[in-house]
Structure 1
Amino acid sequence: MWNRVLDRAGVPDPGLRRDYTLQRRAVRRYRPAEYTAARLLLPAALLPDVVAAVAFMHETDDRVDRGARDERAAALAAWDGHVRKALDGGDAELPVLRCLVRTVERTPALRAHVEEFLRGAEREAEWRGVADEDDFAAYVRAYSLPGLMLTACLLAPADPVRRAAFTDGCHRIIAGMQRLDFLEDLSEDLREGRPGVPADALARHGAEPSRPDAALGRVVAEQADRAAAELAGGEGVEAAVDDAFRPFVRALLGVQRLRLDAVRRAGASLAVRTSGPAPAAAAALLLREWRARRAGKGPRAPDRPF
């Protein structure tokens, strides 16, 4: 199946096919539900580009999310140099960069999003936690939204009015997704000394992020309510995209709602364990969208949307 995807995407070179296969495995591990949604509901010719963009985003995030502050800054500076060298026609030293270069060649508008994401990564490298809602919003604008737009730009409508609505909806969706990330990863972030739950929310409820008690449960419930509102505010993205991409957008939003349900169930226990969407529920959601698409209830996606 994957070999046919690469054929449809016009990737004949054996080395590049291996590179894309490596990135696919990484993305599938990183976001299994979202990857499956893309695999089932997006056109085959587009999937390698989506995989390349997500893999690059995750590689960047991983490089600037480890070690002390000065180590993260040094890692970002080195990575920025590798990326720009590859995009400027120099050696692409890693499979993830070789795939990124080919995707930028196919979709030149992606390069601006890559550069914006790298600028935003400076904030991630310096990040020590979230002080309040203003701080959270600034983080989303600087880093989370550019990260989402690496892939979202591949689905963006050409019409300027619809594109503006699309980008606004993406901003709302990624705010909800980022808030869920911070809740799901609370136990891991605590070990790094950088919890993503806003400090003012913890103080307001008298909660300690490492203590799974009723106070922390109230914080989780409050943050979950905010995430729900943000995701609901992004539902206009479905109307903004071309008909062919609406099943994927519905599935993506559905997976986020499953993540939200899991966070609510976990509550204060997120201090000591992670959470994620129930696999059976995610599989059922994706199967419904896939069957609807196959049954002709929605337009079939073209091989190439641009």
Structure 2
Amino acid sequence: MWKRALDRAGVGAPRLRRDYTEQRRAVRRFAPAEYAAARLLLPAGLLPHVVAAVAFMHETDDRIDRGAADERAAALAEWDALVRKAFAEGDSELPVLRCLTRTAERHPEVRGHVTDFLRGCAYEVAWRTIADDGELDRYVREYALPALMLTAGLLAPAAPSAREAFTAHCHVLIRAMQRLDFLEDLAEDVRAGRPGVPADAVARHGADLTRPGPELGRLVAEQADRAAADLVAAAPLVGVAAPAYRPFVRALTGVQRLRLDAVRRAGPALAARGSGPSAPRAAVLLLGETARARRGPRTG
């Protein structure tokens, strides 16, 4: 199946085929559920390019996520220069960038998404706290949405008006996803000194982010409700996507609902541990979408 995917993606050179295969192994290792969804629900010819985009995003995050703010900023500047050089020369010493440049040749819009993402990484490197929902939305607009569009942009409709609507719904979806990220990772983020739950909400509930308690429970419930509202508002994304991509988009949004359920169940316990979607329920969701896709195209 993978060799066929490489053929359909236009990846013919032996070195590039090895490069894409290396990125596939990496993505399967750090994002097994997401890879399984892409493998089962996306057209074969798109899979290697999605793999390349996800691998690049992960490599970027890994490079800029360690050390003090100035060290992270320096790592970003170095990485940005390597990416620019790869695009300018159409080649790189790094397999992840060789794949990225090849994917951008086949899908020219990727280059713009890469530029937006790297620009947003400066915001990701610099922030320490999220003051309120307005600042959360800025974080999403500056960083989280460009990160999502590295892959979602490959699924966007060609018509400008439909693409605009697609991106707008992606914005709402990633805002819900980011709010869930900050709740799931609350204990880890507090230890790192970078809690992402809006500070005004923490103060409003009088919550102690380091200890379970009723105040933290009310904070989590409020933030979960806001994520739920965004998931409802993002529902039209499935209908905007091209029919071939709708099973994958449905699975993606369905997994967010499972994440939301897990956050609600964890409640104040998020001060001590993370949470995530139920693996059995996620498997059922993925298998259901796979069966639905095999039955034939649907309209919603």
What TM-score comes out, normalization by structure 2 length? Answer: 0.95
Matches within 5 A, 1:9-28: 9-28=9-28
Spell out structure 1 runs of 4+ moving beyond 3 A: none
2:117 — aligned with what? 117
For 1:193 and 1:41, how far apart are their aligned partners in 2? 38
In the alignment, structure 1 residue 173 sits paired with structure 2 residue 168: no
For 1:192 and 1:170, how far apart are their aligned partners in 2? 28
Supply the AA of the counterpart residue of 2:137. A
Matches within 5 A, 1:1-306: 1-89=1-89, 91-298=91-298
Q: CA RMSD in A?
A: 1.5
Instruction: Give ranges in structure 2 of 5+ residues lacking alignment.
Output: none
Q: CA deviation at 1:273?
A: 1.3
For 1:263 and 1:251, how far apart are their aligned partners in 2? 18
Residue-by-residue CA offset, 1:59-99 (whole Å, 9 max, x unaligned): 21222222101011101000000100001116512221111
For 1:207 and 1:149, how far apart are their aligned partners in 2? 34
Supply the AA of the counterpart residue of 1:77. A
Q: 1:157 to 1:148 in 2, by over 3 A?
A: same
Q: What count of residue pairs does the alignment treat as equivalent?
A: 299
Greater CA drift, 237-246 or 140-149: 237-246
For 1:216 and 1:154, how far apart are their aligned partners in 2? 39
Higher RCO by CA contacts (8 Å cutoff, separation 6 or greater): 1
User: CA contact under 8 A between 2:80 and 2:118: conserved in structure 1?
Assistant: yes
What TM-score comes out, normalization by structure 1 length? Answer: 0.94
User: CA contact under 8 A between 1:19 and 1:99: conserved in structure 2?
Assistant: yes
For 1:214 and 1:7, how far apart are their aligned partners in 2? 56
Residue-by-residue CA offset, 1:181-215 (whole Å, 9 max, x unaligned): 11111121122111111111111111111112121
For 1:113 and 1:214, how far apart are their aligned partners in 2? 42
Supply the AA of the counterpart residue of 2:64. V
Q: CA deviation at 1:270?
A: 1.3
For 1:29 and 1:210, how far apart are their aligned partners in 2? 31
User: CA contact under 8 A between 2:86 and 2:97: conserved in structure 1?
Assistant: yes
User: CA contact under 8 A between 2:243 and 2:297: conserved in structure 1?
Assistant: no
For 2:231 and 2:36, how far apart are their aligned partners in 1? 20
Greater CA drift, 249-258 or 212-221: 212-221
- Higher helix proportion (structure 1 or 2): 2
Secondary structure, counterpart of 1:88 in structure 2? helix
Q: 1:93 to 1:271 in 2, by over 3 A?
A: farther
Supply the AA of the counterpart residue of 1:153. G
Supply the AA of the counterpart residue of 1:87. F
Instruction: Give ranges in structure 1 of 5+ residues lacking alignment.
Output: 300-306
Q: CA deviation at 1:297?
A: 4.8
User: CA contact under 8 A between 2:91 and 2:97: conserved in structure 1?
Assistant: no
Supply the AA of the counterpart residue of 1:208. D
Task: Among all aligned residue pairs of Structure 1 and Structure 2, give the percentage whose two residues are the same amino acid.
Answer: 67
Q: CA deviation at 1:28?
A: 2.7
For 1:91 and 1:158, how far apart are their aligned partners in 2? 28
Greater CA drift, 271-280 or 26-35: 26-35
Secondary structure, counterpart of 1:93 in structure 2? coil
For 2:222 and 2:19, how far apart are their aligned partners in 1? 42
User: CA contact under 8 A between 1:86 and 1:97: conserved in structure 2?
Assistant: yes
Supply the AA of the counterpart residue of 1:170. C
For 1:26 and 1:232, how far apart are their aligned partners in 2? 33
For 2:153 and 2:90, how far apart are their aligned partners in 1? 25
For 2:18 and 2:229, how far apart are their aligned partners in 1? 41
User: CA contact under 8 A between 2:90 and 2:98: conserved in structure 1?
Assistant: no
